[in-house]
Chains A and B, each alone.
Chain A
Amino acid sequence: MNTFKIGGVHPEPNKLSAGKKIETLALPNQAVFPLSQHIGAPAVPCVQKGDQVLVGTRIADAGGFMSSPIHSSVSGKVSRIDSVVDASGFRKPAIFIDVDGDEWEPDIDRTDTLALLCTLSREEILDRIRNAGVVGMGGACFPTHVKLSPPKDCNIDVLIVNAVECEPYLTSDHMLMLEHSDEIIVGVRILLKVLGIDRAVIGIEENKADAIQLMQSKTSMVSGIEIMPLKMKYPQGGEKQLIEAVTGRQVPPPPALPANVGCVVQNVGTVFAVYEAVQKKKPLIERIVTVTGKSVKNPCNLKVRLGTPVSQLIEYAGGMPEDTGKLISGGPMMGRPLLDDKAPVVKGTSGILMIPEADAVRRAERNCIRCAKCVQACPMGLEPYLLATASEAGDWATAEENWIMSCIECGCCQSTCPSRRPLLDWVRLAKNRVGGIIRARNTKK
């Protein structure tokens, strides 16, 4: 069975919500839409205070090519354009909408019938994807239309669908595959058409045997779509790791892109969003969110309108457990901590995880004992201990020489360190500094 070659770890899977059917969460009273829900320029509001909007109404335009529009997920009145603290911990501009019903834009197809046929041209499809505000749903939120427009000199020969879900606890992609396999396959075919290629591989980790089996049976008659079971290992869902696991190709260090080795990778949730955008004219206004945690009463997978406050999801899952010490948006390896439960669900919210206080507290750090476990764990072939020490000393040159910009911030190093050193904190700091130095150098040239 395939997997990536260098490093990797095996965190406890804790897929508590696996097999729990996707349930639809009720509408919120107020929905909040931060204008930066994607990588790139923030969206620009195109509504004003007091405007009446429907479900699917565009409320903010893309702020450039590398950006994405935002649509209302509810019908109601724009109450204010203000700011909200999101998962980044920063206060960001946002549009607030008071909900007064569930009126949809008339041209959105709300039926469940499978729309198989797609006669649109490549450009029309790309337009629909861009106008629907589709971004990478795995968490990074890279605008999908940008990824589907690779540089002209790159010869793309395979579309890889990321259905790995290697983050512990999260099950939203898993359940999406079980309940919407047909839509996903149509989505894959649409993407193949856009890319002008005829080969797609859907990579799924072996712990999701039911999804593998279902997808295999659905694609057995479809030519060009292959289901590839992968050995369980974190961070297999990392773009570079997945490309290597599936094709054996290694993406060169930054600024090289997956397209440089002929691959385009899309998360399975993104593929579903593409299906809805293209075949149903439905913008990205809802997503599947796993709400989970060891002490959570009812770990579940919820279909949630974007903008819904996290508190409403937690309430549905049985309330925040007494012992909660950390609230995380995303998974435990790469997720971001939330300041409180008022933050809204955004395009990249794959999970809401509540970690008991006993596990949330970092233990005191000790001397590095040079056990080399971080070096063995690093999937990028780096030396986290060295990068962290260089960072601590402000030695940016050493950090750069030792490939710090290749770090994907997967957290393998820090999660294995017996001395509990905050390796990734230091590496992030140095990455930030070195990145700045490199940019300054390039502008001088």
Chain B
Amino acid sequence: MAQKLYITTSPHVHCGDTIERNMRTVIWALVPAFIASVIVFGAGALIVTATSVASCLFFEWFITRFLLKRPSTLSDGSAIITGILLAFNLPSNIPLYMIVMGALVAIGIGKMVFGGLGNNPFNPALVGRVFLLISFPARMTSWPVPHQMAAYADAVTGATPLNLIGQIVGGNTAAADQLPGLKDLFLGNIGGCLGEVSALALLIGFVILLWRKVITWHIPVTILATVTVLTGIMWLINPVLYVNPLYHLCAGGLMLGAIFMATDYVTSPMTAKGMVWYGIGIGILTVIIRYFGSYPEGMSFAILIMNAVVPLINNWCKPKRFGEAAK
């Protein structure tokens, strides 16, 4: 026997899954939304996404190479996803230096200070976005109107559906006339952040993630269901003041957040039961912030708040043990 044998304990086979494969699938699933953003916002979408991805990759490389002095983690693909998701949470006319700052906060403070991928308690892209939202509230809440293909910084801005919804609740019921139709909302023919405009494109991404078994249905479905139920109740109570729930489902960052941000592996719960509670929490917080908060959109805050609760959820929500009932 000439062969040298490896001695390791079982199991001796692996299904072949890797971090890279999961991340690659997420990137593919983000492609439809990216295409939609380019169709809606033109050059601005390309510039913002490219800058964001490039800066995230740069900061990840820089920090691992020079500050942590560890082997490069660029190849795991997570920095690319953070870059894309950060861009998807920005308006298409945002100045480049702000994107670079957002990327530094997302990668540096959102992820690397905790020890890199796997250790971060908060979704890095959302940390970056919320930093920008609080630091530059004016630039972060002025959204170009769709279809100015060549425009970037000079794009004409306008109110988004969520702005209008806020105005209606504030008493200006006339704003209801400016609301775009549901079809435009579903396809993405509206103003807003890059990645959130087309519910259709995001749902295609959802199907890809489910099909490739990257995520399970629990988090997105419970978030969307909770928002539908809560806004539905309010709509039934007063349809003049509160828009119908379909509007809430398609407007703002709800779909993007529910499908791509809340489902981030590292910062979401580990059991199906935990995922359901987490989803319900995000749904409730989103509706509260949308209707009663000072920001028109509550998705990013809702996810970050629930991220903070995840360790508790993991302690409370244990899987159903085999033989538990019989014990």
Contact = CB atoms under 8 A, between A and B. Distances in A.
A382 B319 contact: yes
B170 interface: no
A418 interface: yes
A328 interface: yes
A163 B225 CA distance: 44
B322 A341 contact: no
Nearest to A244: B322
A379 B115 CA distance: 31
A353 B5 CA distance: 12
Interface in A266-324: 311, 320, 322, 324
Given A320-B1, A320-B3, A367-B117, A424 B10 contact: yes
Contact of B9 (A337, A369, A381): A337
Contacts, number: 174
A13 to B, nearest CB: 11
Contacts of B266: 369-370
Given A252-B326, A252-B327, A383-B271, A366 B19 contact: yes
B11 interface: yes
Contact of A311 (B1, B14, B118, B314): B1
Given A253-B327, A256-B323, A383-B318, A337 B12 contact: yes
Chain A contact residues: helix, strand, loop or mixed: loop
Interface in A352-367: 353, 355, 357, 359-363, 366-367
B96 to A, nearest CB: 31
A335 interface: yes
A251 B8 contact: no
B9 A367 contact: no
A366 to B, nearest CB: 6
Nearest to A360: B6
B3 A369 contact: no
B82 to A, nearest CB: 13
B12 A326 contact: yes
B7 A372 contact: no
A77 interface: no
Contacts of B115: 367
B269 to A, nearest CB: 8
Q: How large is the interface on A (under 10, 10 to 19, 20 to 34, 35 or more residues)?
A: 35 or more
A408 B117 CA distance: 30
B16 to A, nearest CB: 9
Residue from the set B8, B267, B321 with the largest chain A CB neighbour count within 10 Å = B321
Interface residues of B, number: 45
Interface string A240-276: 1000100001111100100001000000000000000
A324 B116 contact: no
Nearest to B216: A376
A50 interface: no
B292 interface: no
A411 interface: yes
Interface string A388-425: 00000000000000110010010110111111100011
A253 to B, nearest CB: 5
Contact of B10 (A335, A338, A341, A383): A335
Contacts of A80: none
A412 B322 CA distance: 15
Nearest to A338: B5
B11 A372 contact: no
A84 interface: no
B15 A11 contact: yes
B319 A381 contact: yes
Residue from the set B10, B118, B267 with the largest chain A CB neighbour count within 10 Å = B10
A337 B7 contact: yes
Interface in A135-180: 168
B22 interface: yes
A251 B10 CA distance: 24
B17 interface: yes
Contacts of B135: none
A378 interface: yes
Interface in B1-48: 1, 3-15, 17-19, 21-22
14 contacts: A250-B323, A250-B324, A324-B3, A335-B10, A337-B9, A367-B115, A368-B118, A369-B118, A369-B266, A372-B265, A372-B271, A383-B270, A419-B19, A428-B9
Interface of A: 6, 9, 11-12, 89, 168, 240, 244, 249-253, 256, 261, 311, 320, 322, 324-328, 330, 332-341, 353, 355, 357, 359-363, 366-373, 375-376, 378-383, 385-386, 402-403, 406, 409, 411-412, 414-420, 424-425, 428
Given A253-B323, A415-B11, A419-B19, 16 more contacts: A251-B322, A252-B327, A335-B12, A337-B5, A337-B6, A341-B1, A359-B12, A367-B117, A370-B270, A380-B321, A381-B320, A406-B322, A415-B15, A416-B15, A418-B21, A419-B118
Top 8 nearest A-B pairs (CB, nearest first) are A411-B11, A367-B118, A381-B321, A332-B13, A252-B326, A418-B17, A380-B322, A371-B265
